[in-house]
């Protein structure tokens, strides 16, 4: 009996069908083709209900989006991966589709040629062989589909695990299947990486990048990870007391001159090395320290080539004129990648910068993202050789604290730095919640007039720790 789209009650009946019953119903409706054996039961049921057309169903099997009045598939990752292996699925259909159709025709011929004599059915031996071939072909296809689905599931699980960890290694997993450049796929997942890849690639640096964002948004972590691509990584942290000599260098009682970290970066880049510099918390610097970076970050073109020019302040005598002066280092712009970071918000002691400073940078804003935080926490857990389950416990604790902070039940949400240190400074896995409380409690909660932690907020934090850390129970 043919199923027809008639009522909501019929839809309910279709939903109760198992896989075998659904396939039989599809065949009974007159649909043919090997794609039915590959399709998911949900697709076949949508076809029976009339929510999608046969063309849509076939397209879905190949991984294409389905134009449907029903709710669209939410697992876009599976769809993308199926699209990536579409050539293999098409190859299966080419190899076995014709053979199966021939055997089905042979079965029809069998039905028409069977003769009845003496109460017995006489079946030509060649048609019996065709039936055996039919059975063998379907067994082969079933095994092949199962094998490919298993591989697809392995790939899906690997991709999802990489995404959950916030790792750009996901690009390397997908790249061979979807034929995209790994660098492009990696950068697209993180705005900071997009900017650094465009303006701060090794040997192809174009412009300094300023990464602005809230506390714990992974600004410095992202810069450090990108800096691993270079010959040399140099990091300098600014504070309100920073002076130009801290950056560029100074004489000592034992040496006529000692390079500061900024002068060292320029000197190495001038020598041909590919150097990455992180200017951490740049907007905490004040006065002379801020102004002294304006000129070095303005490219100078000499004989058609672009340089960053740094006057270190080191006393020298010009070898040509013999006139005393100060040293200037010319670093080829392509060799010197510079990324500055700054917190944002009223609670931080930062100066947002004048237009002249802002023009030196390509500016990107970032927020604390779970995937990025998960990657950082996972690195700390791995470094301590703690169980991987600890990552989820920390993340869930952070999520609850975000809600508490948003509702003003605590002062601020735990930062990436404190969460990481809470793991790294813990003596054992059981000690992690205690370590977090020691390091963060006086930061996360408000103070009373006496300067003591506000006890109601302390209770909220302790309750969150006990809820999400097995060791704290």
Closest by Cα among 237, 227, 361, 245 to 299: 361
- Among 326, 342, 366, the domain-final residue is 366
Q: Are 439 and 422 in contact (CB under 8 A)?
A: yes
Task: Looking at the structure, tell me whether residues 247 and 326 fall in a common domain.
Answer: yes
Task: Looking at the structure, tell me whether residues 321 and 468 fall in a common domain.
Answer: no
Among 25-34, 207-216, 230-239, 278-287, the least confident range? 25-34
- Among 163, 189, 215, the domain-final residue is 189
| pLDDT, mean of residues 33-56 | 79
CA torsion 176-374-213-286 (nearest 10°) is -110
Task: Looking at the structure, tell me whether residues 60 and 95 fall in a common domain.
Answer: no
Residue 232 or 148, more confident: 232
CATH (domain of 215) = 3.40.50.300
| pLDDT, mean of residues 346-359 | 68
User: What pLDDT, on the 0 to 100 scale, is given for residue 337?
Assistant: 97
Q: How many other C-beta atoms lie within 10 A of the C-beta of residue 258?
A: 14
Task: Looking at the structure, tell me whether residues 281 and 414 fall in a common domain.
Answer: no
**Straight-line distance from the first to the last Cα atom of the chain, in angstroms, rounded to the nearest whole number:** 60
Domain membership of residue 312 (yes or no) is yes
The pLDDT tens digits for 106-140 are 666 666 665 544 445 556 666 666 666 666 666 66
Six token digits for residue 187: 């950068």
Domain membership of residue 445 (yes or no) is yes
Please tell me the distance from the alpha carbon of residue 327 to that of residue 319, in angstroms, as a whole number.
11
Domain membership of residue 194 (yes or no) is no
Task: Looking at the structure, tell me whether residues 124 and 98 fall in a common domain.
Answer: yes
Radius of gyration of the chain (CA): 33
Please tell me the distance from the alpha carbon of residue 393 to that of residue 399, in angstroms, as a whole number.
10
**Which whole-number Å values give the CA distances from 235 to 69, 100, 264, 281, 437, in the listed order?**
55, 66, 11, 11, 29
Six token digits for residue 131: 């039936």
Domain membership of residue 98 (yes or no) is yes
- What is the pTM for the complete model shown? 0.54
Buried b (16+ CB within 10 A) or exposed e, 31-61: bebbbbbbbbeebbbbbbbebbeeebbbbbb
Task: Looking at the structure, tell me whether residues 308 and 362 fall in a common domain.
Answer: yes
Task: Looking at the structure, tell me whether residues 60 and 84 fall in a common domain.
Answer: no
Please tell me the distance from the alpha carbon of residue 100 to that of residue 36, in angstroms, as a whole number.
13
- Among 122, 157, 189, the domain-final residue is 189
Please tell me the distance from the alpha carbon of residue 159 to that of residue 82, in angstroms, as a whole number.
13
Task: Looking at the structure, tell me whether residues 336 and 206 fall in a common domain.
Answer: yes
Task: Tell me which residue range forms the domain holding 236.
Answer: 200-366
Task: Looking at the structure, tell me whether residues 37 and 98 fall in a common domain.
Answer: no
Closest by Cα among 73, 63, 81 to 152: 81
CA angle 240/242/243 to nearest 5° reads 135
Six token digits for residue 257: 């001159």
Domain membership of residue 195 (yes or no) is no
User: What pLDDT, on the 0 to 100 scale, is given for residue 460?
Assistant: 94
Chain CA centroid to CA 266, Å = 32
Task: Looking at the structure, tell me whether residues 50 and 105 fall in a common domain.
Answer: no
Total number of domains constituting the chain: 4
Please tell me the distance from the alpha carbon of residue 397 to that of residue 248, in angstroms, as a whole number.
42
| pLDDT, mean of residues 401-420 | 89
Q: Are 159 and 81 in contact (CB under 8 A)?
A: yes
Residue 234 or 367, more confident: 234
Task: Looking at the structure, tell me whether residues 51 and 131 fall in a common domain.
Answer: no
Task: Looking at the structure, tell me whether residues 85 and 211 fall in a common domain.
Answer: no
| pLDDT, mean of residues 428-444 | 94
Q: Which are the contacts of 424, defined by CB distance < 8 A and separation ≥ 6?
A: 380, 383, 384
Domain membership of residue 104 (yes or no) is yes
Q: Which are the contacts of 91, defined by CB distance < 8 A and separation ≥ 6?
A: none
């Amino acid at each position: 009996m043919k199923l027809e789209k008639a009522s909501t009650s019929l839809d309910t009946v279709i939903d109760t069908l198992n896989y075998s019953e659904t396939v039989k119903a599809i065949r009974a409706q007159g649909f043919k083709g090997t794609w039915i054996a590959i399709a998911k039961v949900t697709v076949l049921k949508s076809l029976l209900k009339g929510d999608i057309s046969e063309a849509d169903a076939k397209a879905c099997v190949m991984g294409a989006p389905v134009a449907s009045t029903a709710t669209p598939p939410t697992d876009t990752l599976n769809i993308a991966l199926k699209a990536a292996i579409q050539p293999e699925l098409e190859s299966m259909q080419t190899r076995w589709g014709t053979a199966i159709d021939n055997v089905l025709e042979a079965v029809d011929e069998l039905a028409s040629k069977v003769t009845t004599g003496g109460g017995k059915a006489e079946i030509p031996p060649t048609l019996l062989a065709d039936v055996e071939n039919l059975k063998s072909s379907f067994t082969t296809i079933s095994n092949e589909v199962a094998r490919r689905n298993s591989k697809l599931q392995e790939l899906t699980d690997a991709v999802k695990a990489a995404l959950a960890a916030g790792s750009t290694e996901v690009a390397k997993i997908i790249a061979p299947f979807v034929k995209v450049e790994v660098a492009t796929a990696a950068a697209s997942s993180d705005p900071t990486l997009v900017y650094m890849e465009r303006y701060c690639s090794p040997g192809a640096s174009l412009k300094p990048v300023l990464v602005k964002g809230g506390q714990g948004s992974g600004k410095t972590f992202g810069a450090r990870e990108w800096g691993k691509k270079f010959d040399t990584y140099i990091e300098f942290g600014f504070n309100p007391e920073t002076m130009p000599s801290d950056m560029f260098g100074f004489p000592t009682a034992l040496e006529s001159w000692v390079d500061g970290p900024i002068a060292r970066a320029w000197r190495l880049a001038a020598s041909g090395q590919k150097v990455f510099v992180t200017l951490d918390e740049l907007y905490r610097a004040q006065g002379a320290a801020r102004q002294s970076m304006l000129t070095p970050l303005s490219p100078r073109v000499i004989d058609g080539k672009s340089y960053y020019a740094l006057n270190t302040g080191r006393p020298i005598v010009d070898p040509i004129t013999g006139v005393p002066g100060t040293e200037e280092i010319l670093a080829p712009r392509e060799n010197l990648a510079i990324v500055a970071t700054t917190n944002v918000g009223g609670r931080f002691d930062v100066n947002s910068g004048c237009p002249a400073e802002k023009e030196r940078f390509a500016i990107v804003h970032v927020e604390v993202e779970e995937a990025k935080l998960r990657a950082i926490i996972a690195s700390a857990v791995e470094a301590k050789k703690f169980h991987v389950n600890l990552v989820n416990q920390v993340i869930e604790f952070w999520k609850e604290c975000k809600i508490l902070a948003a509702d003003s039940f605590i002062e601020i949400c735990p930062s990436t730095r404190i969460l990481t240190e809470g793991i790294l400074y813990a003596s054992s896995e059981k000690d992690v919640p205690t370590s977090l409380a020691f390091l963060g409690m006086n930061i996360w909660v408000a103070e009373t007039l006496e300067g003591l932690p506000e006890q109601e907020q302390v209770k909220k934090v302790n309750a969150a720790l006990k809820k999400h850390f097995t060791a704290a129970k």
